[in-house]
Chain A
Amino acid sequence: MTTPLPGPPRRTLLGTGADLGSRHRVYETAEAVELDEASGFTMIRHRVFYDEVILVTQHALVGWPLAVALGALALLVGGMAGVVAMGDALWGALGVGAVALLLALLMVLRITIKMEAVTVYGKRSRVQVSFWLRRRKARAVFSRLCARVLQAQSSAAERLPSAPVLEPPGEPRL
């Protein structure tokens, strides 16, 4: 009887984000939090291992980049509505104006309803994942990551050698 080969370790997508130059996706795996940062056509992977985590934080923040982008878009579409209105196309202007109003409303919502960010600081790198309108999920992720870190560090401490540690040998004397 043959035993099936073990499949790849599962990664669960925690969240995604983007800034001006790159997009990133954060995954949770059995041994680390993984950050896939894509810029151009290449993706670079960073890992913060649970047994190296120093600090996990959760805080609220305003998602300014998207709010500013929405505001700029609302101004642009509003301007277009003004131009359409000057051309005596009232219904068209009302339609375009409604879109501008919707964008402005989204901007206000983005500013008033804050994002929740969970940051995991390791010894060598850090990963941040943000959630908007999903406060409960952010809390669940924060708790789950803390539990995973605690478990990983407890088992790592148990594996530590109890025997006296000797210094590594130096260069051989000829």
Chain B
Amino acid sequence: MPSRGLRLYAGPSCPACRTPFDLTRLTSGVQHCPACGLRFEAVRFRPAERRADVREVGAAGPKEGAACAAHRRNAAVAWCERCGIFMCALCRTEADGRTLCAACFDRLAAEGTLQSTQTRHRDYVGLAWIASAVGFMVCFAGLVTGPLGVYYGFRALRQMNEWGDVGGRMRAVGAMVAAVLATVLSGATLAAILIPSLQRAAR
């Protein structure tokens, strides 16, 4: 069963009724869905198929005579920047500006060293908003969840800086402001209850 966010995708379909398009007949321009009649504008592209330029060792010539470490018949076209083995075009993997062999790519991806292979992240903006909301809704909880919301807001801003995000920072800043308000509100409520009691006790 596919997990959340990994819904099955069976190619382009109508954006309204999800009826699959017949791509052989679909052209650029204004179109109508044959099933639901939705009018939409489409631009059709024909992406080139990826092909690897695999040469045999004998056909590659004297200068490119090294064989791939995994495919002995294939001429090497690069070497792994991590382990240094020779690779043919089939084995060469480009990731985050580095040329790697399949084994090193797998290892670095599993370690989390390759940023582009990371697809799961903590949603700090959402966490900051949840902490703020709990601070508003539950009496005195803002004293704990408010500072937590501010912390998550800072983490969210740092995450956005790391990713080079342009736009969307107001959500994090808004969550931090809400968290501060929740803290102040909880503190004020606590003070409003405690101060008169303490004054009465002092008398």
Q: By the criterion CB–CB under 8 Å, are A43 and B123 in contact?
A: yes
Q: Chain B residues near A36: list those with CB within 8 A.
A: 121
Q: At the interface, yes or no: B43 with Cβ under 8 Å from chain A?
A: yes
**Docked CA distance A57–B18 (Å):** 13
Instruction: Knowing A45-B119, A54-B23, A119-B15 are in contact, say whether A8-B47 is a contact too (CB < 8 A).
Output: no
Task: Bits for A140-174, please: 1 = Cβ < 8 Å to B, else 0.
Answer: 00100010011001001100110101111100100
Cβ-closest chain A residue relative to B70: A169
**Docked CA distance A29–B6 (Å):** 21
Q: At the interface, yes or no: B42 with Cβ under 8 Å from chain A?
A: yes
Instruction: Knowing A37-B5, A54-B23 are in contact, say whether A153-B48 is a contact too (CB < 8 A).
Output: yes
| Residues of chain B in range 118-169 having any CB-CB distance to chain A below 8 Å | 118-123, 125-127, 162-168
Q: Chain A residues near B120: list those with CB within 8 A.
A: 42-45
Q: By the criterion CB–CB under 8 Å, are B164 and A57 in contact?
A: no
Q: Chain B residues near A42: list those with CB within 8 A.
A: 120-123
Cβ-closest chain A residue relative to B130: A41
When the two chains form the complex, which single residue of A43, A55, A161 contacts B44, counting CB atoms closer than 8 Å? A55
Q: By the criterion CB–CB under 8 Å, are A59 and B48 in contact?
A: no
Instruction: Knowing A61-B16, A123-B47 are in contact, say whether A10-B54 is a contact too (CB < 8 A).
Output: no
Task: Bits for B3-42, please: 1 = Cβ < 8 Å to A, else 0.
Answer: 0111001011001100001010010000100000011111
Instruction: Knowing A42-B120, A59-B15, A119-B15 are in contact, say whether A54-B47 is a contact too (CB < 8 A).
Output: yes
Q: Chain B residues near A146: list those with CB within 8 A.
A: 43
Cβ-closest chain B residue relative to A125: B9
Q: At the interface, yes or no: B184 with Cβ under 8 Å from chain A?
A: no
Query: Which of the 9-residue segments A18-26, A74-82, A89-97, A99-107 touches chain B?
Result: A18-26
Number of interface residues of A (CB under 8 A): 58
Q: By the criterion CB–CB under 8 Å, are B47 and A153 in contact?
A: yes
Q: Chain A residues near B4: list those with CB within 8 A.
A: 21-22, 37, 39, 44
Cβ-closest chain B residue relative to A38: B123
**Docked CA distance A153–B52 (Å):** 16
**Docked CA distance A149–B74 (Å):** 33
Q: Chain B residues near A69: list those with CB within 8 A.
A: none
Q: By the criterion CB–CB under 8 Å, are B126 and A41 in contact?
A: yes
Q: By the criterion CB–CB under 8 Å, are B5 and A44 in contact?
A: yes
Cβ-closest chain B residue relative to A61: B16
Q: Chain B residues near A68: list those with CB within 8 A.
A: none
Top-6 shortest CB links A-B: A161-B53, A13-B167, A59-B40, A8-B164, A121-B12, A44-B5
Query: Could you tell me which B residues sit within 8 Å of A by CB distance?
Result: 4-6, 9, 11-12, 15-16, 21, 23, 26, 31, 38-48, 51-56, 59, 71-74, 90, 118-123, 125-127, 162-168
Q: Report 19 cross-chain contacts, Cβ distance below 8 Å, ordered by A residue.
A: A8-B163, A8-B164, A11-B163, A16-B168, A36-B121, A39-B5, A41-B127, A43-B120, A52-B47, A54-B11, A54-B23, A54-B45, A55-B43, A57-B43, A59-B16, A61-B15, A160-B48, A163-B55, A166-B56
Query: Could you tell me which A residues sit within 8 Å of B by CB distance?
Result: 7-13, 16, 21-23, 25, 27, 36-46, 51-59, 61, 117, 119, 121, 123-126, 128, 142, 146, 149-150, 153, 156-157, 160-161, 163, 165-169, 172
